[in-house]
């Protein structure tokens, strides 16, 4: 179903991924046509409020179900989050807190999570719902896609996870956090096995699900090349 929206903020092109106001707010859409000659009653139209930045350039390595890069400019979190949700408005205020508790990444049993939630988190992990995860020095950020995209962050120091929070607003460890921890552990193991020098040199990696990168960064492209 194609719907019309008013846009006065972005230089849109066919194939762009956008977010809009109204009944479809929060859902991704793709531009199929752009009209420049028109006369409309503005109150009859909802607006385009955000456009995804799908311009990706950089070197990527294979790491299981994900591609990984060690270049901070290739796939920063601020770019990838635009693929999943509209930018926050100025009147949206977010706060967070934590109790300073921690656990070792190699011992997720110490995460104080119920078996049922852990099982659901494991399903998210095996279904590759951890679309993106990055480690910048000691700070981890992840995007886990469930009923909506959830943002997770924590600190990782000397094998220990601290300050783990998710914007699903659960007061206890959640399935999104557990899935992200499983993905972080797997990705670090693969990097330590195959690309230790790259991580040592940059103290950074970003890993994106293979399907996610292909769907967002390559699907709408009509020119360019890829080398394997």
pLDDT in tens, 71-116: 999 999 999 999 999 877 665 555 555 666 789 999 999 998 999 9
Q: What is the pLDDT of residue 2?
A: 84
Q: What is the pTM of this model?
A: 0.90
Q: What is the pLDDT of residues 8-66, one digit of tens each?
A: 999 999 989 999 999 999 899 999 999 999 888 988 999 999 999 999 999 999 999 99
Band (172; pLDDT cuts 50, 70, 90): confident
- Do 143 and 113 lie in one domain? The reply is yes
Residues 6+ apart with CB under 8 A from 89: none
Which of 32, 51, 70 is where one domain is finished?
51
How many structural domains comprise the chain? 2
With beta carbons less than 8 A apart as the criterion, state whether 19 and 85 touch: yes
Tell me what the pLDDT averaged over the chain comes to.
Answer: 91
Residue 197 lies in a domain: yes
Q: Domain check: are 23 and 77 in the same one?
A: no
Q: What is the pLDDT of residue 75?
A: 96
**pLDDT at residue number 1:** 72
Range of the domain at 39: 1-51
* Residues 107-141 pLDDT 10s: 999 998 999 999 999 999 999 999 999 999 999 99
Domain co-membership, 43 together with 141? no
- Looking at residue 227, its pLDDT comes to 62
Report yes or no: 19 and 29 within 8 Å, Cβ to Cβ: yes
Distance CA(174)–CA(159), nearest Å, equals 20
Residue 79 has what pLDDT? 96
The first and second tokens of residue 97, run together, are 């807190």
Same domain as 66, residue 45? no
What confidence score (pLDDT) does residue 189 get?
Answer: 98
pLDDT grade for 223, boundaries at 50, 70 and 90: confident
Rounded to whole angstroms, the Cα distance separating 97 from 190 reads 32
Nearest to 51 by CA among 4, 12, 78: 12
Does 34 share its domain with 113?
A: no
In degrees, rounded to 5, the angle at the alpha carbon of residue 103 between the alpha carbons of residues 145 and 71 is 55
In angstroms, rounded to a whole number, what is the distance separating the alpha carbons of residues 15 and 5?
Answer: 15
Residue 93 sits in the same domain as residue 123? yes
Alpha helices by DSSP H, the chain: 77-80, 115-126, 175-194, 196-202, 210-213
Paired strand residues for 207: 68, 133
Closest to 186 measured CA to CA, from 63, 36, 104, 33: 63
């Amino acid at each position: 179903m194609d719907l019309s929206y008013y846009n006065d903020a972005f230089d849109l092109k066919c194939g762009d991924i956008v977010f809009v106001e109204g009944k479809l707010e929060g859902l991704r859409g793709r531009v199929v046509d752009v009209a420049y000659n028109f006369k409309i009653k503005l109150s009859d139209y909802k607006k385009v409020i955000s456009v995804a930045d799908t311009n990706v350039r950089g070197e990527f390595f294979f790491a299981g179900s994900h591609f990984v890069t060690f270049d901070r400019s290739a796939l920063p979190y601020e770019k990838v989050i635009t693929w999943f949700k509209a930018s926050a408005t100025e009147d949206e205020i977010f706060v967070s807190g934590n109790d300073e508790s921690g656990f070792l990444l190699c011992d997720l049993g110490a995460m104080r999570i119920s078996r049922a939630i852990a099982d659901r988190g494991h399903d998210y992990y095996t279904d590759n719902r951890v679309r993106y995860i990055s480690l910048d020095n000691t700070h981890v950020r992840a995007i886990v896609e469930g009923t909506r995209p959830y943002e997770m962050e924590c600190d990782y120091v000397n094998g220990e996870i601290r300050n783990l929070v998710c914007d699903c607003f659960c007061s206890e460890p959640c399935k999104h956090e557990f899935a992200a921890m499983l993905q972080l552990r797997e990705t670090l193991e693969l990097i330590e096995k195959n690309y230790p020098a790259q991580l040592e040199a940059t103290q950074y990696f970003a890993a994106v699900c293979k399907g996610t990168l292909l769907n967002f960064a390559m699907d709408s492209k009509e020119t360019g090349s890829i080398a394997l």
